[in-house]
Amino acid sequence: MPEAYIVAAARTAGGKRGGALKDWHPADLGAAVLDALVERSGIDPAVVEDVIAGCVSQVGEQSFHIGRNMVMASSLPDSVPAVSIDRQCGSSQQALHFAAQAVMSGTQDVVIAAGVESMTRVPMGTPVFLPMHAGMGTGPWPQSIKDRYGVDQFSQFTGAEMIARNYQMNREELDALALGSHRKAAAATESGAFRDEIVPLKVVDADGNESLHTHDEGIRFDASMEGLGGLKTLTPDGVVTAGNASQICDGASGVLVVSERALKVHGLQPLARVDQLTVTAGDPVIMLMEPIPATRRALQRSGRRIEDIDLYEVNEAFAPVPLAWLRELGADPGRLNVNGGAIALGHPLGASGTKLMTTLLHALRAGGKRFGLQTMCEGGGIANVTIVEALG
């Protein structure tokens, strides 16, 4: 079977809600990443055969085909098509899967997988609640689904609490993972580990001063167990707080995927080879457990063991998710989210998939490591897993 290679990977630095990226239209955010991928790879933008763009809240400024609007806002020619997809938090990871599958099938040679989410300008939940407030139906779940699963709604917050309860995780355990996320992200920022993966963006502050946004805004350099412990839980008898859950974030990310033929024709240098692509689905109520069976299937299909994987990126949607994953897989905590995760760096929904992949690829290469695994819990009880082999 033909191979798929990643030749460029880039992301914006995360912006807090109402922060540095609040004035950036999401189409422009995505366009900045598209331009960076073309520039960093050195490829002629006219040879890009498709742009697959992940985005969760496709309404308002992210409506009317955000993928195509990203292309129109970029330096890519009008001849480059695009498609917008939604696999919830795994949207741009699925975009990578679709791009790699297109290349591996032999139908295309040069495809960009990307994602964007401005959670400031298009708040989380807008596609659900806006139509309901406008009197347009009763929401996404008909009574037949509610009856089947015995719930009135599906909530990731509820799922996170269910995992914590099932694994008897206490508040201190969750806060300790959150503190570690901030400390690792702070150390990575201070050492310049993120420098090569971040696309600098021009921003203007309240006083009209222009600067470049190059650092993730959500990192708490002074994070402490005391500070995290002082936060209220989301439910009176729960253990999940805003401090041990992912941060609302604005951002965009993307990777350029090509065939072996394109490597030769365009003189491109691969960062990594796509080794395994897996997606599975399970219980939609607890919802966030699916990365565990998905990882097991990906490892089985690849013929590898968890010990063969040098680094893992497991999205920190909520602290119980990576903690449960570590327990079930018997994985090494020292290889998990080594530069911090979404608790510190933010979770820009549709952009998080290729954001994590960008960070994973740069970490593998910087550390001289070989195999990396990325997985993401997703709404509806779905999970994507991607295994890559770093090259060069």
Would you name the residues annotated as active-site residues?
89, 347, 377
Strands 371-378 and 382-390: antiparallel
- Write out the two tokens for 164: 């914590």
Residue 372 is which amino acid? G
CA distance 172 to 186: 21
- The number of angstroms, rounded, from the C-alpha of 348 to the middle of its chain's C-alpha atoms is 7
Angle at 327 between CA 323 and CA 332, to 5 degrees: 85
The DSSP element (H or E) to which 4 belongs, if any, is: strand 4-11
Helix spans in the chain (H): 26-41, 66-73, 91-105, 126-133, 143-149, 156-166, 171-191, 225-229, 260-266, 291-302, 320-329, 342-345, 352-366
Are 19 and 250 within 8 A, CB to CB? Answer: yes
* Angstrom distances, CA of residue 265 to CA of 9, 17, 32: 20, 43, 26
CA distance 173 to 164: 10
CA distance 99 to 114: 10
| Neighbouring residues of 131: CB distance < 8 A, sequence distance ≥ 6 | 137
CA distance 210 to 167: 48
Kindly report the backbone phi and psi dihedral angles of residue 213, in degrees, each rounded to the nearest multiple of 5, phi listed first.
Answer: -90, 110
* Angstrom distances, CA of residue 28 to CA of 74, 147, 357: 7, 42, 21
* Angstrom distances, CA of residue 344 to CA of 9, 211, 317: 21, 22, 11
